[in-house]
Chains A and B, each alone.
Chain A
Amino acid sequence: MPLLMPVVLACLLFAVGIFGVLARRNAILVLMSVELMLNAVNLNLVAFDVYLRDQLLAGQTFTLFVITIAAAEVGLGLAIVLLVYRNRETAQLDDLHQLREDDPGPPDVRDDTRETAAR
């Protein structure tokens, strides 16, 4: 089998994952796209492991580790999404803009407001 087949497939899956992370608003759909990107990396690791005939099976072992870390990441990510949903009643990423500075005035005005807030 040409080495290009799995490697190009991994590149395409990674590109689709990038699109999903950037284009989706729902936090859980973003997590799904991250899973796609992790799968692309796993496919790369397995393909090069088989291609290089690694004696230590480093590629396949790292694939197992990445799968485990992905499971942990999804668990924690979903816990955070659920916490945000419980507090804000939304899972849309665009609605979480509390840290955004909406209308920055002149610098001296902002300093004043910051001091009053600190007081």
Chain B
Amino acid sequence: MTVVEVMFALLGVIAVGSAILVVTTQHLVHAALWLVVTLGSVAGCYLLLSAEFVAWVQVLIYIGAVVVLLLFGLMLTRAPIGQSDDLDSPLGQRIAAAVTAASAGAVLVASVVTSFRGERIDLSDDRVAGSTGDVGAAVFRSWVLPFEVLSLLLLAALIGAIVLSRRDVSAGPAGARMGVVDEFGEIAEADGVVR
């Protein structure tokens, strides 16, 4: 085994171990912090696979943004800091989940092992195809249309998140426009809309 393989195996063990801790720990905040460990070791795996830019994007967006967003979500739903015992489903459902996950994992591992046994990734030559320049050229030459569509999707998600989390949307013009039915059975329009 080369040094790269040993390091990849170590990072993989760390990733899977901390992922198991993410789904089993009883501390809500610890789950988010173990998720950081998992995402960080997956970023290390990207680096070892010579996908340099993807690794740093993973660190920036996943660890930097997504985990912070999840921590904000935990904070805003008043998550308890200490241990909480209502995070898991009942035992029967957990056993069913474990059986499902184990069988899905077994089928996946068996199928990829039978398909790709003996295949090797060639990382030996100096031509690294994952640097920022390479990925930037690929994104803005071959994949520029999906890139633009993605910006539209991000805009839609941004607007959707704002609309969902505003408190005064239902009391605003949209709510007033529906009007109220007065005692004569007619729809009386609210003042703000008439003006």
Residues of chain A having any CB pair with chain B under 8 Å: 1-9, 11-20, 22-26, 28-29, 31-33, 35-36, 39, 42-43, 46-47, 49-51, 53-54, 56-58, 60-61, 63-65, 67-76, 78-83, 85-86, 91-92, 94
B16 touches A12 (CB 8 A): yes
What chain A residues lie within 8 Å of B57 (beta carbons)? 64, 67
Query: Contacts A61-B143, A94-B89 known; A15 to B119 CB distance under 8 Å?
Result: no
CB distance from B9 to the nearest CB of A (A): 7
Q: How far is the CA of A57 from the CA of B130 in the complex (A)?
A: 8
Q: How far is the CA of A36 from the CA of B35 in the complex (A)?
A: 8
- The residue among B53, B70, B150, B153 with the most chain A CB atoms within 10 A of its own CB is B70
Annotate B25-62 by CB proximity to A: 1 below 8 A, 0 otherwise.
Answer: 00010011001001100100110111101100110011
Residue of A nearest to B115 (CB): A7
Q: In this assembly, does B175 line the interface, its C-beta being within 8 Å of a C-beta of chain A?
A: no
What chain B residues lie within 8 Å of A83 (beta carbons)? 164-165
A57 touches B73 (CB 8 A): no
Q: Please pick, from A72, A78, A81, the residue contacting B153 in the complex, using a CB distance under 8 A.
A: A72
CB distance from B18 to the nearest CB of A (A): 10
A74 touches B38 (CB 8 A): no
Q: Please pick, from B8, B46, B62, the residue contacting A35 in the complex, using a CB distance under 8 A.
A: B62
Interface of A is mostly: helix
CB distance from B124 to the nearest CB of A (A): 10
B121 touches A61 (CB 8 A): no
What chain B residues lie within 8 Å of A32 (beta carbons)? 22-23, 31-32, 35, 70
Q: Please pick, from B79, B119, B150, B158, the residue contacting A65 in the complex, using a CB distance under 8 A.
A: B150
What chain B residues lie within 8 Å of A13 (beta carbons)? 15-16, 19, 38, 42
CB distance from B44 to the nearest CB of A (A): 11
Residues of chain B having any CB pair with chain A under 8 Å: 2, 4-5, 8-9, 12, 15-16, 19-20, 22-23, 28, 31-32, 35, 38-39, 42, 45-46, 48-51, 53-54, 57-58, 61-62, 65-66, 69-70, 72-74, 76-77, 79, 86-89, 93-94, 96-98, 100-102, 104-105, 108-109, 112-113, 116-123, 129-130, 134-135, 138-139, 142-143, 146-147, 150, 153-154, 157-158, 160-161, 164-165, 167
A26 touches B87 (CB 8 A): yes
CB distance from A37 to the nearest CB of B (A): 10
Residue of A nearest to B7 (CB): A1
A51 touches B119 (CB 8 A): yes
CB distance from B98 to the nearest CB of A (A): 6
CB distance from B117 to the nearest CB of A (A): 7
Residue of B nearest to A51 (CB): B121
Residue of A nearest to B49 (CB): A50
Q: How far is the CA of A103 from the CA of B64 in the complex (A)?
A: 47
Q: How far is the CA of A18 from the CA of B77 in the complex (A)?
A: 24
